């Protein structure tokens, strides 16, 4: 465990959070593919993406607070989820859902900047 922490301690928190968000986005992308095609490889890649998210996220807690890191991770992840859902899989939101997503993103941005 010390080697894991020593290696990841060399990365800035922002990089680790970006890698964590990118990993969960990969997990969701392949999870969505698996839900439509149910190929075992997609399921395995989805699990690896989710594992990778935790792998990169957990060391950030040693250097930053839970609130700050989780809000930044959430914002980065939400952008990725929206790209996947709206642009790649052509999903749609109702008007009220779009308003809710907008308010959710705005609230996370406010919380992120209010914490500094």
Map out the domains of the chain as residue ranges. Answer: 2-114
Residue 114: what pLDDT? 75
Residue the block writes with tokens 């890698």 = 19
**Which residue reads 């996370």 in tokens?**
108
pLDDT at 104: 86
pLDDT, tens digit, 9 for 90 and up, residues 4-55: 989 999 999 999 999 999 999 999 999 999 999 999 999 999 999 999 999 9
Cα 35 to Cα 12, 30, 41, 94, 102: the distances in Å are 35, 8, 12, 22, 26
- 1, 39, 42, 83, 99 from 36: Cα distances, Å: 37, 9, 10, 18, 27
According to the model, what pLDDT value does residue 115 have? 60
Residues 45-65: pLDDT tens digits?
Answer: 999 999 999 999 999 999 988
Any idea how long the chain is? 116
pLDDT at 112 over 80: no
pTM > 0.75: yes or no: yes
> 22 and 48 in contact (C-beta within 8 Å)?
no
């Amino acid at each position: 465990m010390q080697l894991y922490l020593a290696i990841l301690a060399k990365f800035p928190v922002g990089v680790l959070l970006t890698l964590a968000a990118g990993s969960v986005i990969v997990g969701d992308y392949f999870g969505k593919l698996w839900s439509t095609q149910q190929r075992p490889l997609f399921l395995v890649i989805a699990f690896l993406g989710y594992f990778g998210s935790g792998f990169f996220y957990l060391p950030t807690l040693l250097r930053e607070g839970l609130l700050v890191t989780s809000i930044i991770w959430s914002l980065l992840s939400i952008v990725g989820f929206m790209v996947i859902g709206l642009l790649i899989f052509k999903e749609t939101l109702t008007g009220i859902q779009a308003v809710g997503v907008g308010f959710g993103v705005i609230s996370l941005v406010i919380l992120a900047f209010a914490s500094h």
